[in-house]
Structure 1
Amino acid sequence: MNNLAKLTAPVLAAWAKILAALPEARLVLRTHALGEAAARDRFAQRLGAAGLPMERVALEPGLPHAGLMAAYGGIDIALDPFPYTGGLTVCEALWMGVPVLAVAGDSFCGRHAASHLGNIGLEAWVAATPEAYIAQAIARAGDLPALAALRAGLRGRVATSPLTDAPRFGRNLAAALRQAWEGAAP
């Protein structure tokens, strides 16, 4: 449910390896750009050239927000792209009970997902390398009882985390602004 521009060659290669190891798995990609036939066809060719089994890849158009959120009900694990990770997309997946597997990058745009996952206690869902990401995806997809237990409590984890604690955020922001203001005073 991310921007197609984030789906780099290394991401597609990783997804191809994950799907090769999990013959029952399927990959669902949903974004507004896939609502245009020409764009969808070009992207399908790119995915096929990257080795993804297109008979198990669903290319879906975008939806109004309520429909998009409901579509998470058909997803077991969200595979976050890298090195440009999701921000809002990660938060929405987690809120809808879908755990997100990510790779920690070395830049701001590569650490959004790691930050969000850390804030809800899912640091173990952040891989250090694409190879670890692939291995984790395969292992986590193979442990359905653990996945079901995590999914059942995921919204509660998000609801009690710093991700949704607006008063805490406000206090911390006010303190940081005061500190910056006092440090800048002559």
Structure 2
Amino acid sequence: MDELDLLKQHWNNEGNFPKVDKEQIRQMLHRSSSSIIKWIFLISVIELLLGLALFFVVGPEETEHSLVYTVGYVVYDIIFYAVILYFIYQFFSSYRRIKNTTSTKVLLNAILKTRRHVDHYIRFNIYCIICSCVFVSVEKLFQRYQTTSTGHFIFTAVLVAVLVSLFCWLFLFVVKLYYKLLYQRLVKKLNRNYDELTSMEQEEPA
């Protein structure tokens, strides 16, 4: 249980625990939200750096590919990294916006935007994983088709489809678990802060 939870638990309780007014709670929610968004930003940057490091360590395939695959691979990489950089920029912008303001309205808007961007970020990564698996599988099958008989190709295609489906299912399960443990845990804290701030705003006299 963090400092904010302890203070809310003992807020206005009898005893020696110090009284905490709404403004102090609001400031703590502000700091907590800023810290959460900062971690979301840092984690997304680390993921990008790890992805780039893995690419340079593994290196490009030396196998000769079709022109369609080569062009598609380049286009895919450009779009993927451009979108990832866009999300990272949005996370950083939300963090900077919260850090440099004391407005509850700005904080609430930043929380909503961050929550929406995290959801889109997770979906985008999952869709990219699926597209990558399908794209690579189609290229492998195309290469196989050029060097084997029709009957053997059909058998290979069915086998590859089954194996790729199983691999994608297992990999997506791991990815979703990772996002659930990491991003969604942070988003839940943001949601809790958002609810607390909204409740406090509604209690304010008009």
Tell me the TM-score normalized by structure 2: 0.26
Instruction: Flag the structure with higher strand content.
Output: 1
* Larger RCO: 1 or 2 (CA < 8 Å, sep 6+): 2
Instruction: Flag the structure with higher helix content.
Output: 2
Larger radius of gyration: 2
